Structure 1
Amino acid sequence: MSMDAPASLNFFKGHPSFRLLPNKEIIRATSELLTPESRDFDAETDNRHPLTYGSDPGALWVRETICSFLNDQVFKFPKDSRMRSSAEYINLDSGASYGILSILLQSTLAHTGYTRQAFIISPTYFLINNCFIDAGFAGKLTAIDEVGYDSIDFETLEKKLQEFESQPSNNDSTDCIENPQSHRQKKLYKYVIYLVPTYSNPSGHSYSESTRIKLIQLARKYDMLIIADDVYDILNYDQDISSDPNQLPTPPTRFVHLDRNTRVEGKDDPFGNTISNATFSKLIAPGLRFGYHETVTACLAWQLSEGGANISGGTPSQLNSMIVGTMLKNGTATKVLRNLISVYKERGQVLYNNVKKYLPPKTDCDVIHGGYFVWITLPEGYDMEEIQKRLSAKYEVILANGSNFEVIGDPKGWGHRSARLSISFMEKEEIETGIKLFGSICKDYATELKLKF
């Protein structure tokens, strides 16, 4: 079922309610940016005018502003920390979706077999399969399960890696993508793994630091690139930030920071083994297409910035990047983000309370700690796919059934009893009504099949 199917109540949509979109703040930032006849940086090669072609990696002042935001306001790294972000590690892009396709295009080569396999944590973001297939990974996707609430199935992952390593290589040549006019050779990885490590879409889970470090060690061992979709991690609902109007919650340390902090110069790959694929879509507005890659060193960021499209047209979101940069500088981005956190925290509590109140006993549902989503699993005997159909037909309430979140070619059967519920689109009252109707369908189903309710 599509998230855009006609519905009176929609738990599928993963974007903000229209009333939460910061129209006035974006207008103010745009006006502040474009009203002056000129800006100090207009003629600078590394920055340029907001309405002209940008530099390949994106405006330097925007990259520096993002780094200040991450280092000092979000992650709060000490000044001497190796984990701190720096402008040369950043490549600006037009959001996480285009960002991941760019990563796959510029750092993997599945078509010839050089990159042997892609691993995707399952259940997964339901549209990510398309990016991997576009990049040549059809038939080369392996699902790796989450384990508990904070880890993944390392045993299966390493077993699969060993299996692929034992097979003879089809083609280790990179000639088909080498540019004879470039003085640098591209870094391509033998394997790639995709995950949403904090407040995951769809499960809502967050991986522990020990899980992250263990995966980095495995990636170094097998020449694997970890693509971390860091799109929800600042939306933290557990930390109390009410006492300071400028405070933001501190997320778990990102993969890219841990990789940078633990790498050994001269021993580990100078390109690193992780990329933070981040966006401001979830933090400001999804229609303001703008995001960034952060890499362990400057090497991979440079490679991403030198793709053919960037060389031709410059950074893909020159104007939007400067609007967001202006919002970061004048503080409105922080205010918008704090408002989202406050609203979503309340909605998450309403959803959890009503799941416990109206759905069958022993329905598995965790408290929502951050992000947009919670993953629920009905007890044995309940058929989520059938219940979803009845709920839609009778009440026009849409759920994202678990079958949407499979890795293509390696299904795990998530649709039988599981579903993803979103808190981002509907108001508290709508969430309560929707869960109550959901519960009534479950109760009728239980009566019909003589299940416990």
Structure 2
Amino acid sequence: MAQFAVNPSFISFAGGYPAADAFDFDGIRRASEKAWSQGAKDCLQYGATEGVAPLRAALKALGLARGIHAEDDQLMVTTGSQQALDFLLRATVAPGDTVLVERPTYPGALQAFRLAGARVVGIDGDAEGIDPQAVARAIEAAPSKPKMIYVVPTFANPTGATMSESRRRDLLALAAKHDILLVEDDPYGLLRFSGDAVAPIAAHAAKDAELRKVSVYLSTLSKVAVPALRIGWMVASSEVTRRCVMAKQVSDLCTSPWMQHIGAAYLDSPEFAAHVPRIIATYKERADAMVTALHQAFDKEWVFLVPDGGMFLWVKLPRGVDAGELLKAALAQKVVFVPGAACYASEPDAACLRMSYSTASPEVIREGVARLAHAYRSYCVG
């Protein structure tokens, strides 16, 4: 998909990239200058594996604003949240261990689980996220106790769904009852443009020592600042964090201190607080444009959940339509999306696709959907 995303003749709804035209260029530049002026040597020297102190403090404050409390030995900085998941798997999952995931789920996580040799079991979800009762049945049916439950509970990739408050509490209680790590991947939680906010699972875990033992929270600055900083972080129990720190020491010693100091300066600046509402407004405009264009082009033939935030729409196509084959017709019209099969651990539903609205203007979205409608008509005729 990447080759088409950078080809100016193609319209891409494929990549989960943030909107480059909405980056806070001036704010990041000023944060970079501030970080350098306050300590060029600190920017260029090795840093603590857990993360430099100013960034850790800024991330703790960002978490506290959403109810997430982290002690010093419970937070580590990583080079993107994908690295945090990688280290978590190295520290806790052995080949053959069972990992439970929502069906469908984030393709990058599936790749990480497969690389770790895990047995991945998909559990159906709906507009309220994964069903805790179905998770309980899967735990009972597993040949051995699962090591991990992985969810993207807020504006999920790929579905855009948000897990309800009651399901978050029930899932956390279930994980604690069976002593299974509950991994909450939260790249999009700050990107809500409609509806009422739902507290992170980690915020519920913060209120109880037993719940904190199984709660793991992953997040990133890639979607709310810029991806190039490569700043992610993890909040987990001190024991889990310690083991992940050891994995990071073996891997890369530390995330770039220069980028960390820039990230800290940006989070502490008024520019960050002003920037987040701007990107939320940008994504709302683009999501509205895509929803309207799809309704106009396909009426009720294509079914999808209207998201309250994030970057994605998940489309259910009519029975018998293969999204992989439809993509071939779409490429001929120079528009791309992600076939849904990539988002399933097993037994994929071929009649689904993921569309991202984050990188295209409303005008481009309307043109892209028109091309997609033309491709769909060609597919149906052919």
Report the TM-score when normalising by structure 2: 0.91
RMSD: 2.4
Deviations along 1:66-114, whole A, 9 cap, x unmatched?
2222323xx2x5xxxxx53444431111111111001111222x13x5x
Match of 2:163 in 1: 207
Name the SS of the counterpart of 2:300 in structure 1.
coil
**Alpha-carbon distance in structure 2 between the residues aligned to 1:430 and 1:214:** 41
Name the SS of the counterpart of 2:244 in structure 1.
helix
Deviations along 1:377-404, whole A, 9 cap, x unmatched?
12335443332221211x1111111112
Residue 360 of structure 1 contacts residue 378 of structure 1 at CA under 8 Å; is this kept in 2? Answer: no
Q: Which has the higher helix share?
A: 2
With over 3 angstroms needed to count, the CA separation of the structure-2 counterparts of 1:164 and 1:312, relative to structure 1, is closer
Within the candidate set 423, 427, 430, 2:357 is matched to: 423
Within the candidate set 130, 133, 154, 1:152 is matched to: 130
Larger radius of gyration: 1
Match of 1:300 in 2: 240
Deviations along 1:190-221, whole A, 9 cap, x unmatched?
51121111000000001011111111122122
The 5-angstrom pairing of residues 60-209 of structure 1 reads: 60-72=53-65, 75=66, 77=67, 83-108=68-93, 110-111=94-95, 116-137=97-118, 140-146=119-125, 148-164=126-142, 190-209=146-165
Residue 67 of structure 1 contacts residue 87 of structure 1 at CA under 8 Å; is this kept in 2? Answer: no
Residue 340 of structure 2 contacts residue 348 of structure 2 at CA under 8 Å; is this kept in 1? Answer: no
**Alpha-carbon distance in structure 2 between the residues aligned to 1:121 and 1:310:** 31
Shift of residue 56 of structure 1? 2.5
Is 1:283 matched with 2:224?
Answer: yes
**Alpha-carbon distance in structure 1 between the residues aligned to 2:341 and 2:322:** 12
Shift of residue 33 of structure 1? 1.0
Is 1:320 matched with 2:256?
Answer: no
Match of 2:28 in 1: 26
With over 3 angstroms needed to count, the CA separation of the structure-2 counterparts of 1:358 and 1:390, relative to structure 1, is same
Shift of residue 153 of structure 1? 3.6
Within the candidate set 438, 441, 446, 2:372 is matched to: 438
Match of 1:331 in 2: 270
Match of 2:304 in 1: 365
Is 1:345 matched with 2:345?
Answer: no
Shift of residue 366 of structure 1? 2.2
**Alpha-carbon distance in structure 1 between the residues aligned to 2:24 and 2:281:** 15
Residue 150 of structure 1 contacts residue 207 of structure 1 at CA under 8 Å; is this kept in 2? Answer: yes
Match of 1:253 in 2: 199
Q: Which amino acid aligns with 1:377?
A: K
Is 1:216 matched with 2:176?
Answer: no
With over 3 angstroms needed to count, the CA separation of the structure-2 counterparts of 1:228 and 1:370, relative to structure 1, is same
Match of 2:16 in 1: 14
With over 3 angstroms needed to count, the CA separation of the structure-2 counterparts of 1:4 and 1:17, relative to structure 1, is farther
**Alpha-carbon distance in structure 2 between the residues aligned to 1:313 and 1:376:** 39
The 5-angstrom pairing of residues 392-403 of structure 1 reads: 392-393=331-332, 395-403=333-341
Name the SS of the counterpart of 1:144 in structure 2.
strand
Residue 387 of structure 1 contacts residue 441 of structure 1 at CA under 8 Å; is this kept in 2? Answer: yes
Shift of residue 129 of structure 1? 1.9
**Alpha-carbon distance in structure 2 between the residues aligned to 1:325 and 1:400:** 34
Residue 98 of structure 2 contacts residue 121 of structure 2 at CA under 8 Å; is this kept in 1? Answer: yes
Name the SS of the counterpart of 2:204 in structure 1.
helix
Q: Which amino acid aligns with 2:288?
A: Q
Within the candidate set 375, 390, 411, 2:347 is matched to: 411
Report the TM-score when normalising by structure 1: 0.77
Match of 1:274 in 2: 215
Percent of pairs with identical residues: 22
Name the SS of the counterpart of 2:254 in structure 1.
coil
